[in-house]
Amino acid sequence: MSETKTGNIVAKSTLNTDADDNVTGTAVEVVEKVTVTASKANSITPSTTCSDSELTDIDVTPTVSVEQAALDEKWMRVAMAQATLAEAKGEVPVGAVLVQDDTLIASGYNLSICEHNPTAHAEIECIQAAGKVLKNYRMLNTTLYVTLEPCSMCAGAMVHSRIARVVYGADDLKTGAAGSVVDLLRHPQFNHQLEVTKGVLAEECAAQLSQFFKRRRAEIKAAKQAKRQAQTQDQTR
Ligand SMILES: [Zn+2]
């Protein structure tokens, strides 16, 4: 039974070089707005009734079997482990894995800051690695799991790679291209449409992001206070 949204988690953080040993170069501002979609059974069935206020937000998530829902959770946890690797490098924690017949093909995590590369999103890293494993630029009959709703760039790469299905955790209301802002994965005029399952471990995926931004805000605040204290001490000498 698919449930309506239970609340928004808005995480906003300014990442700068003063507070991040892992970051060099220009200051980077990251603003993430994440919505948790509660899914008691991973959106196993779409909504069949809705109020007037919900008519513009009809869940088109296809039916997923109980067995598939369990597999989805299993692989989403692997994607979350990838997100943890990103966080350890000071990156926004987003992780992705590509799976075929319940077998891991490739994985990736966000590396944009470390690599000074705005295209180094988890999904792109994963797709590029998968191409080398499969020795094919088409990734037929595969499922990509990612902890955050794909952006337009990553959705485009998924269409080009012919990935069959994408499963994601938290919605991204700012840049989500799987329905939150725009739906490029199921655009009827494209030559390939993906099956989309949203909201798998959504709360845990969103918590991973919001805790990261909360911690980063505290680190930046502490760094600014330390800087002010140092300046005050210099002035009183
Ligand atoms: Zn992306």
Q: What is the pLDDT along the chain (237 residues), one digit of tens a residue?
A: 333 333 333 333 333 333 333 333 333 334 344 544 444 334 434 433 444 444 445 455 668 999 999 999 999 999 999 999 999 999 999 999 999 999 999 999 999 999 999 999 999 999 999 999 999 999 999 999 999 999 999 999 999 999 999 999 999 999 999 999 999 999 999 999 999 999 999 999 999 999 999 999 999 999 999 999 988 888 877
Residues 22, 113 contacting (CB under 8 angstroms): yes
C-alpha closest to that of 32 among 145, 147, 109, 143: 147
- Which of 123, 149, 204, 219 is an active site residue? 123
Ligand 1 centre and the CA of 27: distance in Å?
Answer: 20
C-alpha closest to that of 164 among 123, 120, 194, 197: 194
Mark out the alpha helices in the chain (DSSP H runs). 66-88, 122-134, 152-161, 202-236
Give domain 66-220's CATH superfamily.
Answer: Cytidine Deaminase, domain 2 (3.40.140.10)
For ligand 1, an ion, list residues with CB under 5 A.
121, 151, 153-154
Q: Is 123 a catalytic residue?
A: yes
Ligand 1 centre and the CA of 148: distance in Å?
Answer: 9
Q: Where are the domains of the chain?
A: 66-220
